Amino acid sequence: MAKHTVTLIPGDGIGPEITTAMRRIVDATGVEIEWEVVDAGEGVVEQFGTPLPDHVIEAVRRNKVAIKGPITTPVGTGFRSVNVALRKALDLYVNLRPAFSIEGTGARYKDVDIVIVRENTEDLYAGIEFEEGSADVAELIDWVAAKGAGTIRPDSGISLKPISVTGSARIVRWAFEYALANGRSKVTAVHKANILKYSDGLFLRVAREIAAEYQGRVEFEDRIVDATCMGLVLRPEDFDVMVLPNLYGDIVSDLAAGLVGGLGIAPGANIGADCAVFEPVHGSAPKYTGRDMANPTAEVLTAALMLQHLGERDAGDRVLAAVKAVLGEGATVTYDIKRTNTGSTDGAVGTQAYADAIIARL
């Protein structure tokens, strides 16, 4: 029996190609993984009536670890995003987004090594919204006025920003535990508590309380989100592990990805108390479907994170080192990396040839 069983959701668009490349590389490390392949997305709607059938969620629950390719969110079909639905169904409250420099990616910065821990379940992403012109909005506006809490223009739309003690405590604790387990020295909590006293203020208060438990083991600081963005651009080396509420986490993690070369190389994971779903940050890039062109680096670095999570740290490190070697050399790379480095796609190789080059370096 294989040592690990992992649910593999290939996704659509470029998903099947980049997950094939990823799987070949992971298998070549020698780590024994049995891949349980299940499909989700628009392609299964006809058969199961939903893009996220129950058996997919069950497979992730059973195996506890899944890795996926991107899945297209069809516009105007009424189905919500499979990715969001999966996160909700499994209460994957951590969005882990490392951003680190790799030579050969054309990144503007050289020595970035940041881990972003984004809260994944609440804040403005809770999905509690009231449409402009609706009776609910009128009622809400009257209620706010009656409380003496403020005046809202009648032609407003309203989105709620709930931030809880429970949600804040578990994400901040996760960030500190991650720092300890991975030899990281500092956690920075990011907020706008000077303005948003009851939501971000709560997040900051809870972060400080949890940080006190780790005093002497992991350093703690807090920063306001706008100053954080400037700081990241000016001196990214000041940051180590960052923990953020959902919206700031979304924005700041893309900023951090931009510092190190963009979404094509940005790995990610959604992690809960019981299960973890690993996925790259980028989407399904539909125009490259089936063309053996897409860059699988983000998917492969995502697999390196997964190997770490499975306790296969050595294999994860080897994958990372092999990716760094191939990108550093710059000869056997996909069109996007060639274009960034040389201004032309001449000499680029396909998805699988790039994977072969990584396998040769393992």
Residues of the shown chain interacting with ligand NAP in the complex, contacts defined by CB under 6 A: 14, 18, 70-73, 83, 263-264, 279, 282-287, 294-295, 336
- Choose between 67 and 172: whose C-beta lies nearer to ligand NAP: 67
CB-count burial class (<10 Å; 0-12, 13-18, 19+) for 336: buried
- Whether 250 sits among the annotated catalytic residues: the reply is yes
Catalytic residue among 12, 68, 93, 125: 125
| Tokens coding 297 | 């680096």
| 192 labelled catalytic | yes
Three-state DSSP at 354 gives helix
DSSP 79: P
- Shortest Cβ 201–ligand NAP spacing (Å): 31
DSSP code at position 344? S
Q: What is the Cα–Cα distance from 330 to 324, expressed in whole angstroms?
A: 10
User: What gap in Å lies between CA 338 and CA 346, rounded to an integer?
Assistant: 7
**Which CB sits closer to ligand NAP, 195 or 331?**
331
What's the closest the beta carbon of residue 12 comes to ligand NAP, in angstroms? 9
User: Minimum distance between the CB of residue 21 and ligand NAP, rounded to whole angstroms?
Assistant: 10
Q: Which is nearer to ligand NAP, 193 or 355 (CB)?
A: 355
Quote the CA–CA distance of 188 and 279 in Å, as a whole number. 24
Q: Which amino acid is present at 252?
A: V
Of 345, 344, 343, 326, nearest to 335 (Cα)? 345
Compare residues 138 and 331 and give the one whose CB is closer to ligand NAP.
Answer: 331
Q: For 142, which DSSP code?
A: H
Tokens (6 digits) for 307: 């190997």
Query: Rg of the chain over CA atoms, in angstroms?
Result: 21
Q: Which two tokens stand for residue 331?
A: 């000869």
Helix (H/G/I), strand (E/B), else coil: 13: coil
- 167 versus 280: smaller Cβ distance to ligand NAP: 280
Which is catalytic among the residues 54, 91, 142, 226? 226
User: Measured from the CB atom, is 31 or 99 closer to ligand NAP?
Assistant: 99
Which stretch of DSSP H or E encloses residue 343?
none
Task: Check if the beta carbon of residue 97 is closer than 8 Å to that of residue 275.
Answer: no
Q: Closest distance between ligand NAP and the C-beta of residue 110, in Å?
A: 22
Closest to ligand NAP by CB, 163 vs 348, is: 348
Residue 231 near residue 255, CB atoms below 8 Å: no
Paired residues of 34 in beta bridges: 5
DSSP characters over 272-306: -SS-EEE--SS---GGGTTSS-S--HHHHHHHHHH
Residue nearest to ligand NAP (CB): 283
Instruction: Please list, residue by residue across 216-227, b when 16 or more beta carbons sit within 10 angstroms of its beta carbon and e when fewer do.
Output: eebbbebbbbee
The residue from 12, 123, 192, 214 that is catalytic is 192
Which residues are the active-site residues? 125, 192, 226, 250
